Amino acid sequence: MAETKQQLHIAMFPWLAFGHIIPSLELGKLIARRKGHRISFISTPRNIDRLPKIPPDVAPLITLVKLPLPHVDNLTENAEATMDVPHHIIPYLKIAHDGLQEPLSKFLETSNPDWIIHDFAPHWLPPIASRLSISRAFFSIFNASSLCFIGPPKFPLSASPGTTEETDLGKRTELEHFIVPPKWVPFPSKIVYRPYEAKKLFELIEANASGVSDMFRLNMVYLGTEFLAIKTCMEVEAEWLNLFGELLHIPVVPVGLLPPSPQEGNDNKDSTWDTISEWLDTQEKGSVVYVALGSEIRPSEEDFNELALGLEQSRCPFFWALRKSAGGESVELPEGFENRTKGRGIVWTGWAPQFKILGHESVGGFVTHCGWSSVTEAFQFGRALILLPFIGDQGLIARFLEERQAGVEIPRKEEDGSFTKDSVSQTLRLVMKDAEGQIYRDKAKEMTTIFGDKELQHRYVDKFVELLEKHRRIINKG
């Protein structure tokens, strides 16, 4: 007799950053839409209120759960996500996040989900979920090559004796260790940090104001999870996914690239899109460079100036989505910049619908900070990439893309990461116009066959959910 399929209840708890929240919500929507399972999506009140509207076909299956963020010194009243605070205040946001331990525990006790799909930050969560017999999956928005570079946990889950020394991130104590591929990568790779990026990496390894380091959080989550779900696919990085599975000794499951659905843009902001599209409609096909460095990047005044002057010097039409920083500090455009580029370029300081802009046929290239979600969006439309990474895994993603000739990085000084208007201008012209840059434009178009194939990507979600279903059936029988 055929086994009756049971509806699962899945709780989702992303880190308090929209680069984590949105992919997590996208995964939740796909699980609900394709498999009919119930989702409890957990975040803070203001973050929940800022989410895109849940489509009517899945709204009955998704419950948005608001857990108030505890008050913490150094955090302003409305700061509930990383985009709301300057970079140096993020450790205090982690303190507030850790304060969600008790209300989250109560929610899990009373709602009794089958699974919790969580992020890297709640190092305290696995023991709580285990005590309540709730299965655990860590959902990583970081791609497999970046996770491989960072390395497996300090205490391998079931590694054979003697392997700890080889794979212990703690053994990489000098800057020189991070500018070469790690010993555990068995194939040729150029995915490394530059010296100026490696200096910043030590912030992740050392304990911050929250009392623990980001590496401690990640290690504890690795050690306490049953599956690692990762926002990537075999067609993009099979060798890295296979390697990471060997390093972690737990199932590493690609859930696809989670491309956002175009019909799910912010409806209430359509007048914004009308204004932007009106300008884009006047530009030649494939001529416009879209410039957006994400909601959390705060370039120095010097970097900001060189980027602006490089854009001007390139003579490329551009649309620059320039958001005011959370700390309130404003950066000034070079004097006369907007007058000199009038008609050829637009500096847009409000909210900009990135997915729709990238989808417009006049856009040919994208100056990006190399956030994995932004890369995913750009490749759905075959947009050539000009790479300008700043923090975290962005440098590793830039090397990953360059290795595949899927983007070109703006040249910078190895020691301090500075760049010039000339390097910006030359890279823009190479990727957008020059004959020798055709390879990058072709490669970007080629990427649409993977990144733009919705059915291929959705099959990954289906396989992941089948694993969740099968695992719970085994537990329930046991």
Q: Tell me the catalytic residues.
A: 20, 119
3-state secondary structure of 390: coil
> In residues, how long is the chain?
478
43, two tokens: 């975040």
Stretch (H or E) spanning 401: helix 394-403
Query: CA-to-CA distance for 422 and 425, rounded, in angstroms?
Result: 5
Report the distance separating Cα 198 and Cα 265, nearest Å.
37
**8 Å CB contact between 96 and 77:** no
Record the tokens describing residue 284, joined without a space: 């030649």
- Angle formed by the axes of helices 372-380 and 18-35, nearest 10°: 60
What residue type is assigned to position 335 of the chain?
E
Kind and range of the H or E run holding 137? strand 135-140
How many angstroms separate the CA atoms of 294 and 368, rounded? 8
**CA max distance for the chain:** 76
Which residue, chain included where needed, has tokens 């950053």? 17
Using DSSP, state whether 473 is helix, strand or coil.
helix
- In terms of C-beta density within 10 A (0-12 exposed, 13-18 middle, 19 or more buried), how is residue 21 classed? buried
**145 phi, psi to nearest 5 deg:** -65, -40
CB atoms within 10 A of CB 111: 15
Q: Which of 307, 320, 312, 315 is nearest to 346 (CA)?
A: 320
Q: Which DSSP letter does residue 39 get?
A: E
Strands of 252-254's sheet in order across: 62-66, 38-43, 9-13, 115-118, 135-140, 227-230, 252-254
Rounded to whole angstroms, how far apart are CA atoms 360 and 377? 12
Backbone angles phi, psi at 12, to 5 degrees: -125, 130
**How far does CA 54 lie from the centroid of its chain?**
20
Instruction: Quote the DSSP letter at residue 398.
Output: H
Query: Rounded to an integer, what is the distance from CA 247 to the centroid of its chain?
Result: 22
